[in-house]
């Protein structure tokens, strides 16, 4: 099993969710995060004083999938979340040892 | 039987009571004016709580919002009691040497339902006194913004009590008390440009300097945590200010209407000019700028509200918006002091401009009891206004400094580095404004159910 963690633009969450749904992925964990990368920060003005805000709001989506789904999921998310501009985000994958469904006690791929 | 007797009993009771005319002496009260002044007093109360509380509360970081709201709440309570005990008599009691009232109205003794013709011929003395109380409250509350996010609560309480007694009360006497030296000099201050705004603004500046900057000031962003709060606070200030300025006419008549109109006009003009100045300099008009601009306009029109016409109000407001904007964005940045929420930049600068502008734009055509300003052929009034401004600056500045230095020997004024880091809400009040995820256990467990209570609960369950 693999955990896919992707950082995307806040406005792309619906598109990504829909694309994953079509791909057959129903479960996910979504977090509001802030971060920085290649994208420059923005300037905010409060009472005439300018502040450079370089951590920008992003959305983190975490899903755990079967290993044979990984390439397809990465492709699906990339297509859904891409605008072509700097700041589209990143996708990370991690190996997952095990999973358990708390309600039934199922383990492994049956649990995801 | 009882029902038939009741009206008769009521009539007897009423006859037994002394008639209102007898109780109220000779001067007849005007019920319309009395109603107006009482409602205006309530409007001015709303300016402090929740007006100032939310205006400031939105501008601090989330870890300090309760502390700043608590300061406004506490000032309302503390100064309300102080005013009844000794504040009112110091400010408005019979004159002593043109500087302070004597102690004859201690504990509101002699402040009664009848009018005091010295201050308001047709309104109960009590109504006048409580209207003035709300001014004392808001003045002390305004200062809290300058030392926000770093003053310890015990020191703040002691400071507020001393400051209101030693600065506000005498200054109010100078300007508004019968026999006060600035009043006798002819300085015009309709609703408190010097007494309320210069005094709180200058006190804020001195307090910010004495306490020093917040840790991290200039190196980390200290941004408002909830601007809708701030707009709500500004809106309540604008709304309450109608009571503040129009109410200062102490009569529901033409002068009150005039003060109402110029108040709204100046607030609006300053909102436009502050937002406009930002639009030009930064490319975007900000919400915080517009909200602050309206307050700057309200401050500036305060001393002039009963003496100037609507066109003068437009100019006073437009200038106030730009002047205060420059004070907080350029001057404060250059000088490097940390007046957290710009009490000096808005109230000190706006109040000074308003007091001087009164010397320019005042017109006896608006208020025959006032005076003409420079633009209406009386250059001397501008000088008189300047004396009032300079005296208020010097008195408020010096006394604030002495009070803080004196208190500093007894109290720790500032939060420690760790307290500041954690926030004043937790360290001063033991509360969290936004406890999204509080995990823990209550230290006082709920009482164990008594046998009788348990039986009742079982019955209820069985019934259900």
Q: Are the CB atoms for A46 and B223 separated by under 8 Å?
A: yes
Nearest CA in chain A to B283: A45
Helices (H), B119-253: 125-143, 153-163, 169-176, 181-185, 199-211, 227-246
Cβ separation of B286 and A45 shorter than 8 Å?
yes
Q: Are the CB atoms for B188 and B381 separated by under 8 Å?
A: yes
Residue B451, pLDDT > 80, answer: no
Contacts of B112 (CB under 8 A, 6+ apart): B124, B125, B126
Suggest the residue from A41, A43, A48 to mutate for an interface test with chain B (most B CBs closer than 10 A). Answer: A48
At B3, the pLDDT band (50, 70, 90 cuts) reads low
Share of chain B above pLDDT 90, in %: 86
**Average pLDDT for B357-374:** 97
Res B452: pLDDT: 73
Distance in Å from the first CA to the final CA of chain A: 9
Residue B365, pLDDT > 50, answer: yes
Separation of alpha carbons A48 and B463, rounded Å:
66
Res B447: pLDDT: 73
Separation of alpha carbons B419 and B445, rounded Å:
29
Residue B124 Rama label (left phi>0; alpha psi -120 to 50; beta): beta
Res B15: pLDDT: 44
Nearest CA in chain A to B289: A47
Residue B16, pLDDT > 80, answer: no
Res A79: pLDDT: 96
Q: Are the CB atoms for B33 and B122 separated by under 8 Å?
A: yes
**Average pLDDT for B147-162:** 98
Is residue B55 less than 8 Å (CB to CB) from chain A? Answer: no
Nearest CA in chain A to B291: A47
Find tokens 């700043």 and name the residue. Answer: B68
The H or E element spanning position B383 is: helix B379-410
Nearest CA in chain A to B292: A47
Q: What are the chain B neighbours of A50 within 8 Å (beta carbons)?
A: 282
**Average pLDDT for B175-195:** 97
Nearest CA in chain B to A52: B221
- Record the pTM: 0.87
Is residue A55 less than 8 Å (CB to CB) from chain B? Answer: no
Q: Are the CB atoms for B103 and B86 separated by under 8 Å?
A: yes
Extract the tokens encoding B111. Answer: 């402040």
Range of the domain at A97: 2-111
Average pLDDT along chain B: 92
CA distances from B56 to B159, B298, B342 (A): 19, 16, 10
- The CATH number of residue A16's host domain is 3.30.70.120
- Scored b (16 or more CB within 10 A) or e, A37-52 reads eebeeeeebbbbbeee
At B17, the pLDDT band (50, 70, 90 cuts) reads very low
- Scored b (16 or more CB within 10 A) or e, B171-196 reads bbbbbbbebbbbbebebbbbbbbbbb
Res B18: pLDDT: 44
A20 Cα to chain B: minimum distance (Å): 30
Q: What are the chain B neighbours of A44 within 8 Å (beta carbons)?
A: 223
Res B464: pLDDT: 53
Cβ separation of A48 and B292 shorter than 8 Å?
no
Residue B430 Rama label (left phi>0; alpha psi -120 to 50; beta): left
B53 Cα to chain A: minimum distance (Å): 19
Number of domains in chain A: 1
Separation of alpha carbons B264 and B301, rounded Å:
9
At B430, the pLDDT band (50, 70, 90 cuts) reads very high
Instruction: Tell me the sheet residues that pair with A44.
Output: A51
Bridge-based pairing of strands B100-101 and B95-96 is antiparallel
Is residue B247 less than 8 Å (CB to CB) from chain A? Answer: no
Res B10: pLDDT: 47
- Scored b (16 or more CB within 10 A) or e, B316-334 reads bbbbbbbbbbbbbbeebee
A55 Cα to chain B: minimum distance (Å): 12
Bridge-based pairing of strands A2-8 and B95-96 is unpaired
Share of chain A above pLDDT 90, in %: 79
Extract the tokens encoding A18. Answer: 């829909």
Residue among B221, B284, B289 minimizing CB distance to A47: B289
Residue A41, pLDDT > 90, answer: no
A29 Cα to chain B: minimum distance (Å): 18
Extract the tokens encoding B363. Answer: 């017109």
CA distances from B170 to B59, B272, B392, B397 (A): 31, 36, 11, 14
Res B438: pLDDT: 73
Taking the CA atoms of A82, A88, A90 and A91 in sequence, report the sign of the dihedral they define.
negative
Count the helix, strand and coil residues of chain B and give each as a percent rounded to the nearest 5: 70, 5, 30
Cβ separation of B329 and A48 shorter than 8 Å?
yes
Nearest CA in chain B to A48: B329
Q: What are the chain B neighbours of A31 within 8 Å (beta carbons)?
A: none
Q: Are the CB atoms for B428 and B74 separated by under 8 Å?
A: no
Residue B1, pLDDT > 60, answer: no
Lowest mean pLDDT among B51-60, B114-123, B125-134: B114-123
Extract the tokens encoding A64. Answer: 């755990």
CB contacts < 8 A (A, B): 32
Extract the tokens encoding B302. Answer: 């305060």
Q: Are the CB atoms for B245 and B255 separated by under 8 Å?
A: no
**Average pLDDT for B448-460:** 71
Q: What are chain B's domains? A: 28-429 (1.10.3430.10)
Cβ separation of A48 and B325 shorter than 8 Å?
yes
Q: Which of B276, B300, B275, B279 is nearest to B289 (CA)?
A: B275
Beta strands in A19-88 (DSSP E): 29-35, 42-46, 49-53, 56-65
Nearest CA in chain A to B330: A48
Cβ separation of A46 and B286 shorter than 8 Å?
yes
Residue B261, pLDDT > 60, answer: yes
Cβ separation of A47 and B329 shorter than 8 Å?
yes
Residue A42, pLDDT > 90, answer: no
Separation of alpha carbons B146 and B207, rounded Å:
7
Extract the tokens encoding B350. Answer: 């706006």
Quick: pLDDT tens for B382-391: 999 999 999 9
Quick: pLDDT tens for B190-245: 999 999 999 999 999 999 999 999 999 988 889 999 999 999 999 999 999 999 99
At B19, the pLDDT band (50, 70, 90 cuts) reads very low
Q: State the DSSP code for A107.
A: B
B223 Cα to chain A: minimum distance (Å): 8
**CA torsion angle for B127, B302, B205, B155 (degrees, to 10)?**
10
Q: Are the CB atoms for B277 and B337 separated by under 8 Å?
A: no
Cβ separation of B278 and A49 shorter than 8 Å?
no
The interface residues of chain B toward chain A in range 210-229, judged by CB-CB distance below 8 A, are 221, 223-224
Cβ separation of A46 and B223 shorter than 8 Å?
yes
The interface residues of chain A toward chain B in range 10-49, judged by CB-CB distance below 8 A, are 44-49
Other Cβ atoms within 10 Å of B433 Cβ, number: 18
């Amino acid at each position: 099993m693999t955990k896919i963690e992707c950082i995307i633009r806040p406005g792309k969450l619906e598109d990504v969710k829909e694309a994953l749904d079509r791909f057959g992925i129903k479960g996910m964990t979504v977090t509001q995060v802030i971060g920085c990368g290649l994208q420059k920060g923005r300037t905010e003005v409060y009472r005439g004083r300018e502040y450079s805000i370089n951590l920008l709001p992003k959305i983190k989506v975490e899903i755990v999938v079967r290993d044979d789904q990984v390439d397809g999921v990465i492709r699906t998310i990339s297509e859904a979340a891409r605008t072509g501009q700097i700041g589209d985000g990143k996708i990370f994958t991690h190996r997952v040892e095990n999973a358990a469904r708390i309600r039934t006690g199922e383990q492994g791929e049956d649990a995801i | 039987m009882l029902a038939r007797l009741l009206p008769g009993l009521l009539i007897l009771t009423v006859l037994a009571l002394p008639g209102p005319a007898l109780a109220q002496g000779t001067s007849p009260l005007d019920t319309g004016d009395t109603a107006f002044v009482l409602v205006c007093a309530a409007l001015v109360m709303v300016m402090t709580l929740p007006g100032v509380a939310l205006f400031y509360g939105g501008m601090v970081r989330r870890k300090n919002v309760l502390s700043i709201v608590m300061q406004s709440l506490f000032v309302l309570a503390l100064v309300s009691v102080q005013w009844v005990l000794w504040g009112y008599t110091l400010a408005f009691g019979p004159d002593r040497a043109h500087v302070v009232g004597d102690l004859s109205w201690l504990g509101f003794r002699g402040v009664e339902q009848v009018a005091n013709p010295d201050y308001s011929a047709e309104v109960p003395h009590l109504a006048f006194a409580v209207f003035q109380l709300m001014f004392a409250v808001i003045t002390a509350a305004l200062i809290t913004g300058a030392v926000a996010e770093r003053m310890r609560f015990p020191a703040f309480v002691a400071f507020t009590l001393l400051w209101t007694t030693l600065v506000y009360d005498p200054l109010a006497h100078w300007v508004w008390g019968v026999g006060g030296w600035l009043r006798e000099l002819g300085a015009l201050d309709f609703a408190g440009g010097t007494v309320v705004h210069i005094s709180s603004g200058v006190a804020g500046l001195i307090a910010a300097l004495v306490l020093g900057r917040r840790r991290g000031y200039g190196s980390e962003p200290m941004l408002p945590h909830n601007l809708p709060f701030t707009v709500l606070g500004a809106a309540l200030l604008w709304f309450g200010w109608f009571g503040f300025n129009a109410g200062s006419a102490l009569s529901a008549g033409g002068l009150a209407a005039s003060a109402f109109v110029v108040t709204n006009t100046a607030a609006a003009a300053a909102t436009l000019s502050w937002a406009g100045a930002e639009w030009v300099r930064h490319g975007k008009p900000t919400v915080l700028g517009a909200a602050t601009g309206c307050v700057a306009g309200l401050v500036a029109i305060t001393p002039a509200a009963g003496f100037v016409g609507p066109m003068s109000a437009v100019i006073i407001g437009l200038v106030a918006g730009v002047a205060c904007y420059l004070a907080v964005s350029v001057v404060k940045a250059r000088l490097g002091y940390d007046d957290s929420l710009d009490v000096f930049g808005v109230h000190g600068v706006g109040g000074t401009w308003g007091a001087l502008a009164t010397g320019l734009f005042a017109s006896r055509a608006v208020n025959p009891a006032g005076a003409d300003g420079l633009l209406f052929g009386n250059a001397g009034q501008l000088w008189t206004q300047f004396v009032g401004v300079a005296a208020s600056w010097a008195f408020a500045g010096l006394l604030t400094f002495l009070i803080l230095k004196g208190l500093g020997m007894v109290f720790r004024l500032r939060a420690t580095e760790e307290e500041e880091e954690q926030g004043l809400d937790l360290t001063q009040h033991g509360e969290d404004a936004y406890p999204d995820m509080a995990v823990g256990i209550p230290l006082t467990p709920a009482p164990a159910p008594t046998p009788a209570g348990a039986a009742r609960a079982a019955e209820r369950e069985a019934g259900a």
